[in-house]
Amino acid sequence: MAGLRLLHTADVHLGAAFGFLGRRGREQRDQLKATFSRVIDLAITSQVDALLVAGDLFDSAYPQPALVGEVMYQLQRLDSEGIWTLIAPGTHDRLQPGGVYESDELTKLAHVHVFRDREMTARSISGLDLDVYGMAVDREGKDVLSGFRAGDAARWRVGILHASFILPGKVERDEMLVSAESVAGSNLHYLALGHWHTQGDYSRNNTPAFYSGSPEPLDIGSGEEGRVLMVELEEGSPARVKPISVGRRRMSRLELDVSGIGGPTELYAYLRRMADRDLVLEVRLKGIWGDDWAVCDWDRLEDELAPLFFQLHLVISPAGITAQDVDTYPERTVMGRFVRIAREEMEGKEGEELLVAEEAFRLGLTHLAGRP
């Protein structure tokens, strides 16, 4: 009996706006399409039997017609090779009245199936002796695999699910959940998970269960590459799951204590070495105190370095202000007063408010430090 080769992706988020990338957001939106095309290339050249999409293929339930057309074109490439595409709607592209998965546009293709039921339902692919189980996201908030057990009719049994994996004490609530116990008892040869954007192995009791992560990064984080998973199932041996890098850009946040680096010149050299036109880098700087930094033109420094990155953002982190730093500037001085007031302002602020307060602090600091 022949084995089975599957390509697992999820959370592509085609059509995502990337507002935080400003004028470059459009480029990254285009990159998502290019990367998805690369995933299709990979499926064809690797001669997989099926592509599994574990939710959030689109960023919205109502993508632009041109975007649906692009996906149709890509899936057609698989279809004409006889390669199956099995899609579970996610939380962003959920099954909605009038939404992309309610129409028959994608499923007009002979080898495309969208899971539209609200419970795990099998799609049998007789030519592969395969049953694929999947479901559309439901607002249940409980373990959706509880009590589920795949039947033994087909040789191969694979699941697709867009859900959070229950980690007691850490992850316990979400629309769709799946537990270690239910994965262990699922009788599946592989469970393709989506919803979490970084890759992860959640296999339990001989049931391989993986998040593929996004093929192209969507948010600033640890800077990891976008990947897909190549899954090989073979009679009599454990599943082989191999990550393959397909993403182009990386998005990274870096905390940097400049007190160990030197002054602006050394900071420039330090960041210059990290230059990469496919890297989005946010640097949160700490320890910017003393004469070395008094004349630093932060905007200029950022402007000089920015063209060497996809995007570069320097942020002066309020976390960098220690009691010791404040003591450097006695309370009776203007700088001392400013730092104390700014610190109070930033305390307890989050998100957009914190960003605004940080920017105000940075501007104030620049002006004050520049004074003779």
Name the site residues for Mn ion (rule: CB under 5 A): 11, 56
- By beta-carbon proximity to Mn ion, the closer residue of 49 and 174 is 174
Work out how close the CB of 200 gets to Mn ion at its nearest, in angstroms, rounded to a whole number: 14
Specify whether the CB–CB gap between 35 and 214 falls below 8 A.
Answer: no
Give the integer Cα–Cα distance in Å for 200 and 251.
18
Looking at the Cβ atoms of 12 and 125, the one nearer to Mn ion is: 12
DSSP string, 259-276: GGT-SHHHHHHHHHTT-E
Q: How far apart are CA 222 and CA 251, in angstroms?
A: 7
Rounded to a whole number of angstroms, the minimum distance from the CB of residue 144 to Mn ion is 17
Q: Which is nearer to Mn ion, 11 or 358 (CB)?
A: 11
Degrees, nearest 5: CA angle 48-80-194? 45
| Residue 246 backbone phi and psi in degrees, to 5 | -125, -15
Angle between helices 25-45 and 65-79 (to 10 degrees): 20
Shortest reach from residue 11's CB to Mn ion, in Å: 4
| Token duo for residue 260 | 């160990």
Name which of 140 and 175 has its Cβ closer to Mn ion.
Answer: 175
Question: 21 vs 316, which CB is nearer to Mn ion?
Answer: 21
Using alpha carbons, select from 239, 232, 293 the residue that is nearest to residue 261. Answer: 293
Is residue 125 within 8 A of residue 132, CB to CB? The reply is: yes
Q: In whole angstroms, how close is the CB of 10 to Mn ion at the nearest point?
A: 7
Output the CA–CA distances (angstroms, integers) from residue 230 to 7, 128, 192, in the order listed.
5, 17, 11
13 vs 157, beta carbon nearer Mn ion: 13
CB of 164 to Mn ion, least distance (A): 11
In the complex, least distance from residue 216 CB atom to Mn ion, rounded to whole angstroms: 12
CA distance 25 to 17: 6
